[in-house]
Structure 1
Amino acid sequence: MFEYFPDNYAWSLAVMMAETCGGAIGEIDEACRPLRPLASVKGEASSLAWTQSWLRVADRVSEHAQVDLRAGRAFSAGRKLQRACTYYMMAERQMRHADPQRMPVYHRMLDSFAGWQATLEQPVERCAVPYEGSTLPALFVRAGDGRGPCMVMFDGFDIMKETICLMQIHEEFRRRGISMLIVDHPGVGEALRLQGLLGMPETERPARASLEYLLGRDDVDPARIGIIAPSAGGYHAVRSAALEPRFACCVAWTGVWDWGSLFEKRLKGQLAQAVHFHLEHAEWVYGAQGVEDVVAKMAPMHLGGIAERIRCPLLITHGGNDRQTPVTEAHQVYAAAVHSARRELRVFTAEEGGCEHCHVDNQAPATDYMADWVAEVLGGHTAPAR
């Protein structure tokens, strides 16, 4: 992985995420260059500097987009709003959740995202999935006419539906005839920030709600609905597909066998952390207070006795050099899923690209592989029809 900050994994990971989400390397460098002297000093002061530096670039790019809009140049504005959205997202990512500025920054990100969608006429429909007396904010991307296959896309631990959309993952699925419902499930994105829905082990509940929503649409084939999720979502997806047999396939975009144990190892410094205030973020996600409470709430989040129940086709992708989630986790999930109709573990190497966490060092090979696999399983296409 290209490490802009060799002494700071979380910041280097964010740089790669910004590039994957459509950021311009010159603007990314402009945000990061002043931060180099602070990279090895992890704490509130360095995180505040990170936020302010990314905000400066995001605000300027957003202002330029407004100039384009006033001149009637909506297409140009849309490209800038996409980049501004990415930079606001990177700014918010490292903030403490109790910071009073976090929500204003988050809303600027949402506004930029909405502006990008509107000005470039993206094929993305905002929708609300009914869920236990509330709703799950989601984005639906339709692949074609008539009833076709669809994937429910959940998030991980510290990303959101806008991250997935900015990465353009859905475009590769759409190209292959696969629609996608990108959902902020409890504990992430809008579900957490604006609706107070906390994360929990029973992720089959929001997954079932997402499935039921799709069953009510006339542009989705009810027999061809799968589920996919990155990072911690590797637990969410496998558990959901194991306990909700109506899912036609499952993709664990990173194999996760024991999420609680992984988190404890990260707190002890045995594994890399994606965000600096890792414990605080977990407290926010799960509504916990202190290490013991967090660990207790996460302890049930393992796939022992669960992975064995999955019957549908299962693909697990993993980076061979994943520093957050060791590849042994993926092997454990694969070994347990003995009743899957078609199981596969695909580990990406440094030579081919995609060897880091969620393949962030080079996402293209893994994205193509996942999209091709789903198209083969659900009846999409892997080449143009003509």
Structure 2
Amino acid sequence: NDFDETVKKTTDWREWGPNWKAVGEVHEGLGREAEQRGRMLSASQAYQRAAWCYHLGKFLWFEDAELHAELRDRSVSVYRRALPHLDPPAVRLEVPFEGHVIPANFRRAVGTDPPPLVLLVPGLDSSKEELYAIEEDFLRRGMSTLTMDGPGQSENSVDFAIRPNWETVITPVLDHLARLDLRVDLDRIGLMGISMGAIYGPRAAAHEKRLRAVVGLAGPYNLGDCWDALNPLTRGGYTFYTKSANEVEARQKAYSLNLEGVLDRVTQPLLVIHGGRDRLFPPAHAERIAREAPNATLVIYPDGNHVCNNIAYKYRPLMADWLKEQLASGRTR
């Protein structure tokens, strides 16, 4: 497959980005060919594969700043070609934010009127384009999805650095959604955060009570406490996305990315999911989060790695079913 072949071909880390660019261009070419023939399902599938290749090429790869930016932008642009042909289709939203925008992909669930809404928040070097499979888990259960790039994430890393205070992000997003006619139930909004998104989500929920329930997948309690055990690529990612001058500055900023003094105000249901074999953030961090949040449920999979990527068939149905149950009825007025 593409991954195995590209890993085998990459004998020097500097080749990682160019190699994935080449693979992405193959899939993008297949997409254009299918589109010219009016085969839009095949085209959209090829464009998605191309976007994921471009994203993977720049993932924690900073050897060439110009190519890194090109891969980021091509991942976004080619995925946009697929949006109207997804099932259900997606629409790009741009939420006004501090002189720029929060870009997001919105997909409305069918068969439920009006459906609840789940906000999907990526992690350190994740992007909204790569969360399609997770969107599908919610959509198939009658929940609409809004997958966003917040400050320091993917296309929003150009104008913003990572920030801990995500109430400054989610509140403007929800205010903007209230002015749109998306035909979703804004009294039933959940949030699912991945890795660093599992810090952003609870921090937002502590202030923003329009969030009815939160899932935190594989997040740390305090990033600074994990810093010394992080691998060099991940430390490089934090240095880049916090716009730090060096790792010393990034390490100092890492201590601001924490849940200290926050969780007692997260009164909404909180599902904390973690892998027992997570080598980035020890399971003890998840245990502490669950202890300090008054309405938390903790699930640790002993065989799970970071983000439980190796056992997606376990955690994804769990978190999707759990959020469906939490958002089953509107808030009593």
Question: TM (normalized to structure 2)?
Answer: 0.91
The reply on whether 1:232 has 2:199 as its aligned counterpart is: no
Counterpart in the other structure of 2:47: 81
Amino acid at match of 1:206: V
Aligned to 1:66: 32
Q: Aligned pair 1:185/2:147, yes or no?
A: no
Go from structure 1 to structure 2 and tell me whether the alpha carbon gap of 1:161 and 1:97 turns closer, same or farther (over 3 Å shift): farther
Unaligned runs of 5+ in 1: 1-25, 39-45, 267-272, 381-386
- Cα distance in 1 for partners of 2:61, 2:99 equals 30
CA distance change for structure 1 residues 52 and 257 in 2, over 3 Å: closer, same or farther?
same
Q: Give aligned-pair identity as a percent.
A: 26
Matched length: 327
Q: Which segments of 5 or more consecutive residues in structure 2 lack a partner in the other structure?
A: none
Shifted more, 288-297 versus 175-184: the winner is 288-297
Distance between the aligned counterparts of 2:27 and 2:117, measured in 1? 34
Opposite residue 187 of structure 2, the aligned amino acid is: A
> 1:163 and 2:163 equivalent?
no
Distance 1:136 1:76, change over 3 A: same
* Structure 1: distance between partners of 2:220 and 2:203: 10
The alpha-carbon deviation at position 97 of structure 1 amounts to 6.9
Q: SS where residue 95 of structure 2 aligns?
A: strand
Tell me the equivalent position of 2:269: 313
Aligned match of 1:364: 313
Aligned to 1:348: 301
Judging changes above 3 Å, is the alpha-carbon distance between structure 1 residues 377 and 97 closer, same or farther for their aligned structure 2 residues? farther
CA distance in 2, matches of 1:151, 1:120: 18
Task: Give the Å deviation of 1:331.
Answer: 0.1
- C-alpha change, 1:108 and 1:291, in structure 2 (3 Å) is closer
> Which residue of structure 2 lines up, in the alignment, with residue 101 of structure 1?
67
Give the corresponding residue for 2:169.
206
For residues 235 and 2 of structure 2, the distance between their equivalents in structure 1, rounded to whole angstroms, comes to: 30
RMSD of equivalent CA atoms: 2.0
Correspondence for 1:377: 326
User: Contact (CA 8 Å) 1:235, 1:256: kept in 2 or not?
Assistant: yes
Checking the alignment, whether the CA contact within 8 Å between 2:190 and 2:212 is kept in structure 1 is: yes
* Correspondences of 1:218-367 after superposition (within 5 Å): 218=181, 219-266=183-230, 273=231, 277-338=233-294, 340=295, 343-350=296-303, 355-367=304-316
Q: Does 1:115 align with 2:68?
A: no
Given that 2:236 and 2:247 are in contact with CA atoms closer than 8 Å, whether structure 1 keeps it comes out as no
Q: Kindly state the Cα deviation for residue 175 of structure 1 after the two structures are TM-superposed.
A: 1.4
User: Do residues 30 (structure 1) and 20 (structure 2) align?
Assistant: no
Distance across 2 between alignment mates of 1:151 and 1:72: 32
Question: Could you list the per-position Cα deviations for residues 313-352 of structure 1 after superposition, in whole angstroms to 9, with x for gaps in the alignment?
Answer: 11011111111111111000001112x2xx21111232xx
What is the CA-CA distance between 1:297 and the residue it aligns to?
2.0
Q: Distance in 2 between matches of 1:201 and 1:244?
A: 15
Q: Structure 1 CA distance, aligned partners of 2:310 and 2:128?
A: 20
Which residue type is aligned with residue 233 of structure 1?
G
